[in-house]
């Protein structure tokens, strides 16, 4: 049954020997804790014991399915007697939910961890609005593109939370997403951001991009333009770094600050203006800043 099963059995033997050694000890609390550990370990071994003895448990197991909307609100719960093996039940459920569909299944939010295995009926297609990815896009797309309706692209919202290779950020699914949110570290971020085609981009962590790169980004937008409605928001931890960015930007473009120094307007291509906006946000570890670059019409 594997090394894990043998390891747990060895731990159980050691716990029992330890309990025998201290059973006459006056410390009742220590004995109680050890007895609880033995009980918990036996519980972990119970399913394997049924397999080893080829016997059925003395209780009726149930399989419960919870359909949840949001973090706390439970929309629906289904429960049925568990009379088959787990992989057989998983196959039954996926066939029940996704099989024999004439049209693509609309998925509001797809969230798949990189170590998960999904078994689906043949020819199923998902129309995805939002994709949350923990992993590498190149690998995930290669494995999943057959089940994703092509009309899903460009994605309305893409959120990536992992350490991804630099070249992965140029993947068309990432580059062309309408709203992109990255929670990753590393990289030389300036060429990454310059290469993005999405209209909205959110970087909720300070990736240590130097002030000169912020100015270069604004300069590139001012020179070559961006579609009206484009909005990129970049987190900044340090107040001194924020001030350096604002001072360098003001001097470079001779821009006048408004609203207490938290907004600047910079001319771009004809008919468009870049608004540089500073917003303060409060999080658990203290105050941080969000620098927003927004393209608006004149």
pLDDT in tens, 152-182: 999 999 998 876 677 787 889 998 899 999 8
- The long-range contacts involving 11-16, CB below 8 angstroms and separated by at least 24 positions, are 11/41, 12/38, 12/41, 12/42, 12/45, 15/41
Whether pLDDT at 81 is above 80: no
Q: Are 291 and 278 in contact (CB under 8 A)?
A: yes
pLDDT at 83: 72
Based on the fold, state whether residues 174 and 192 are members of the same structural domain: no
Q: Average pLDDT, whole number, for the chain?
A: 84
pLDDT at 59: 74
Based on the fold, state whether residues 224 and 143 are members of the same structural domain: no
State the average pLDDT over residues 22-47.
83
State the average pLDDT over residues 107-129.
83
Tell me if residue 164 falls in helix, strand or coil: coil
Region of poorest pLDDT, from 222-226, 251-255, 293-297 = 251-255
Q: The domain containing residue 70 runs over which residues?
A: 60-98
Q: How far apart are the first and last CA of the chain?
A: 70
Based on the fold, state whether residues 87 and 140 are members of the same structural domain: no
Could you tell me what percent of the chain has a pLDDT over 70?
87
Whether pLDDT at 227 is above 80: yes
State the average pLDDT over residues 139-152.
91
Based on the fold, state whether residues 211 and 292 are members of the same structural domain: yes
Based on the fold, state whether residues 201 and 118 are members of the same structural domain: no
The most distant pair of C-alpha atoms in the chain lies apart, rounded to whole Å, by: 89
Q: How many structural domains compose the chain?
A: 4
Based on the fold, state whether residues 70 and 19 are members of the same structural domain: no
Based on the fold, state whether residues 120 and 222 are members of the same structural domain: no
Based on the fold, state whether residues 206 and 292 are members of the same structural domain: yes
Based on the fold, state whether residues 43 and 67 are members of the same structural domain: no
Of 197, 201, 189, whose CA–CA distance to 233 is shortest? 201
Based on the fold, state whether residues 215 and 294 are members of the same structural domain: yes
User: Which residues contact residue 20 at a Cβ distance below 8 angstroms, ignoring those fewer than 6 apart?
Assistant: none
């Amino acid at each position: 049954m594997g090394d894990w099963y043998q390891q747990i059995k060895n731990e159980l033997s050691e716990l029992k020997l330890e309990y025998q050694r201290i059973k006459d000890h006056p410390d009742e609390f220590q004995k109680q804790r050890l007895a609880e550990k033995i009980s918990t370990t036996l519980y972990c071994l119970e399913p394997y014991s049924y397999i080893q003895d080829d016997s059925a448990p003395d209780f009726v197991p149930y399989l419960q399915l919870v359909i949840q909307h949001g973090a706390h609100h439970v929309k629906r719960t289904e429960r049925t007697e568990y009379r088959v093996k787990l992989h057989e039940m998983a196959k039954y459920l996926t066939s029940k939910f996704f099989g024999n569909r004439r049209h693509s299944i609309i998925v509001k939010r797809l969230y798949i961890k990189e170590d998960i295995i999904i078994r689906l009926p043949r020819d199923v297609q998902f129309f995805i609005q939002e994709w949350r990815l923990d992993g590498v896009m190149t690998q995930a797309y290669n494995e999943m593109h057959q089940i994703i309706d092509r009309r899903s692209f460009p994605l309305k919202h893409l959120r990536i939370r992992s350490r991804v290779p630099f070249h992965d950020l140029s993947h068309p699914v990432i580059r062309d997403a309408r709203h992109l949110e990255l929670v990753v570290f590393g990289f030389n971020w300036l060429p990454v951001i310059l290469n993005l085609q999405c209209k909205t981009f959110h970087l909720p962590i300070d990736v240590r991009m130097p002030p000169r790169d912020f100015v270069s980004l604004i300069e590139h937008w001012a020179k070559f333009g961006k579609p009206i409605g484009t909005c990129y928001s970049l987190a900044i931890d340090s107040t001194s770094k924020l001030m350096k960015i604002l001072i360098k930007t003001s001097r470079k473009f001779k821009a006048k600050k408004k609203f207490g120094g938290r907004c600047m307007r910079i001319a771009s291509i004809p008919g468009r203006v870049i608004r540089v906006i500073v917003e303060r946000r409060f999080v658990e570890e203290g105050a941080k800043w969000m620098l927003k670059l927004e393209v608006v019409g004149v």
